[in-house]
Structures are given as C-alpha cells and as structure tokens.
Amino acid sequence: MPPKMIAPPVANVPWQERPATLKNAPVWRYDQNPVIGRNPAPGVARIFNSAVMPYGDAFIGVFRGEQTNGVPHIYLGRSQDAIHWDIEEEKIPFVDDDGQPAMPVYAYDPRLVEVEGIYYIIWCQDFYGASIGLAKTTDFKTFTRVESPFIPFNRNAVLFPRRINGKYMMLSRPSDSGHTPFGDIFLSESPDMVYWGRHRHVMGRGQAWWESLKIGGGAAPIETNEGWLMFYHGVSGTCNGFVYSIGGAILDLDEPSRVLYRCETFLLTPEEWYEERGFVPNVCFPCATIHDPASGRIAIYYGAADSYVGLAFCRFEEIMEYIKKHSRLTDTDVELGKR
C-alpha cells in the first residue's frame, strides 16, 4: 500500500513546481523568497521562525516579530494565498483565565496547531529562564494562557495535531538559557494540557555531521498511514559559527517516541543569500507546513537567517520515499524511549 497522508483537504496550498535544474532535490525553494522581508510592520524590524495554517478559506499565522527595541513578541497575520501576509501592528494580547492581561516578558519561535477545534500557540518565553509558553483560542480574538507545560529550561515545543491513545503529545528539547550544550528531542504526554509526564527520549543529536551540535522540533508532525512525518532542525558547529538545516524523520503512529526512519542527509541547508546573510547567518529553521492529501503537495515555512520567512516545497510520496531510502538509525533511535 502506498503512503497516505491523513489530513483535512487544502485546495489552495501555495505551490511551485520543482525547477528542472533540481531534478533530484527532495525539497525546493519558492523562487520569490523571502515571502516576508525586513521591517514588515511598524515597530517590527524582522519576522522569522513563524507558524501558519489554513483557516476558513484563507490562512492565518503567528509570527515572531523582533521589535525595534530588540525584544521578540508574537504577532497575528492573515493571508489569502499564504504568500502575501498582512501583519497586525499590535502584538497578540494574551490574557489569563479571568480575562486579565497576561503578557510574557518576551516570546519567540511560535508554533500553531489545531487539536479538536481549539487552536494552540506554543512558544519560548522567560519563566525563570528559557521555557515553554502555551495559549489557546477558538476565534483568534481572545488568546487565553494555559499553564506552562515544563519547568525551565526548555525550547522548541511542538504539539501533535491530535490526541494519541487519548493523550495530548508534545515534542520539546530540554535546554538551557544559552546555546544549549545538550540538544536531544523528547516526547511528553498530558491528559488535559495542564499536567505533563511520561517523558520519553525520541532522537539524539549527532546522528550525522550536519546535526552534530543539537536538534529540535520544527513543524507539527503530519499524520500518515505509515507514521508521523516530522520536519525538524539540526545544527552543526563550524569554525565560522552555527549552521541550521532542515531534516526529516518518520515516527511510530501509536508510540511517537519510537523512530522508524531518520534521514541521514539534510533536506534543506543554507544556500541562498537570505539564508546565508542576515541577523544570524546560515539558518534554515522549519516551523510549519501547509499540506493537502489529495494533491500530495507540502509547503514548508521556515525562518531564514533570523531575518526573513522562506517557503519551500516537496511532494508527499517523494519525501516519504527519500527519508526511508536515506535513513540510518542509531542504537538510541531504535529504543522505545528512556525512562
């Protein structure tokens, strides 16, 4: 049986065919990148590492906006085609359960995931050090904070788009407040989006040279009949600094801490000027996909050089085949998960 994507249909996925010059490339770039450039809104110098998704007949997104005072916050944006975005001028006004303002000190690298009709925003914030922030909305007008899922220090939290065995599932990378001398991906589960536990190791850094320093979750995993398709970021250390690339893996459908396939090669690495040159050079950082099971089209949204938003494309069956063909699991990868 061929691989099958299990997801709602999206007829208007942004798309561009693979260039003839990139015949064997698993992922290719939009030739009009970057889709969001510098100074995109008043008081915002750069937008990057942001998440988007279909909403009604159009698209909506949560965007990491680096303010001109240097402090990052999350902004809401809307688009008819998922390419041209209107970014709201005011940052998202988070509130607590009583409707009172509950703004984080800072917020960056947001993800946006729908689970059972509720839209969850997950981001990195200050909670006595770098940790995970969480909020929910049903209308993109009221954004209510949820209890922080983890104690410090943590980054790169990614929520699965449905419950698994009755539990919410979230990937994260335990971290520090600096540039992470350790960098593995873990899985945690919750019965209610408040209390999190049953932590399991998923993948470790160092499986390949391009991800030797650290790895972290990227876009929300895509459900398939063969497992969860996951795009993540891997980081290598060079004599000229860090290099962030995009990798791919397939996780077990019922026990996502079990890695079925993990691609030994990167899928996308900095090559274009907007990826190599910017506030932080040499960064491709995936945060979201828009995908359609009927056409097999997948659009990947990624941050470029901590300065821009880039868009890339792949075909579902091709990327599944590529990941499986180029997979090499380590002893750690094939474990069910360390307790």
CA distance 193 to 91: 24
Q: What is the CATH number of the domain that holds 316?
A: 2.115.10.20
Q: Convert the pLDDT of each residue in 304-320 to its tens digit.
A: 999 999 999 999 999 99
pTM for the model stands at 0.95
Residue 194 to residue 80: CA distance in whole angstroms: 34
DSSP 92: P
Range of the domain at 102: 23-325
> Is there a domain that residue 1 lies in?
no
The mean pLDDT of 220-234, rounded to a whole number, is: 98
Contact 182, 174 (CB under 8 A): yes
Q: Is 89 part of any domain?
A: yes
Closest CA to 307 of 325, 326, 285, 327: 285
Average pLDDT over residues 165-169: 98
Q: Are 178 and 159 in contact (CB under 8 A)?
A: no
Specify the residue for token string 């809307």. Answer: 78
Tell whether 6 is covered by a domain. no
Residue 79: strand pairing partners:
59
What gap in Å lies between CA 240 and CA 282, rounded to an integer? 10
- Range name among 14-18, 133-137, 279-283, 335-339 with the lowest pLDDT average: 335-339
Whether 331 is covered by a domain: the verdict is no
- Mean local confidence (pLDDT), 113-134: 95
Task: Judge whether 257 and 38 are in contact, CB under 8 Å.
Answer: no
Distance CA(200)–CA(256), nearest Å, equals 9
How crowded is the C-beta side of 142, counted as CA atoms within 13 Å?
Answer: 9
User: How many whole angstroms separate alpha carbon 111 and alpha carbon 124?
Assistant: 10
Between the alpha carbon of residue 220 and those of residues 163, 183, 232, the distances in Å are 13, 19, 9
The reported pLDDT for the residue numbered 333 is: 56
SS3 category, 20: helix
Residue with the bigger pLDDT between 337 and 77: it is 77
pLDDT tens-place string over residues 174-193: 987 767 667 899 999 999 99
Cα dihedral 41, 231, 125, 256 sign: positive
Residues in the chain: 339
Asked whether the beta carbons of 85 and 78 are under 8 A apart, the reply is yes
Show the tokens assigned to 95.
């509130």
* 212 domain residue, yes or no: yes
Q: Higher confidence at residue 282 or residue 176?
A: 282
Q: For 85-111, what is each residue's pLDDT tens digit?
A: 999 999 999 999 999 999 999 999 999
DSSP string covering 126-169, please? Answer: ESSSEEEEEEEESSSS-EEEE--SS-SSEEEEEE-SS-BTTBEE
Q: How far apart are CA 202 and CA 206, in angstroms?
A: 13
Domain count for the chain, please give it.
1
283 within some domain: yes
13, part of any domain: no
Q: What percent of the chain has pLDDT over 90?
A: 89
Strand partners, 120: 113, 136
Q: Assess if residue 96 is contained within a domain.
A: yes
Under 8 Å between Cβ of 215 and 155: no
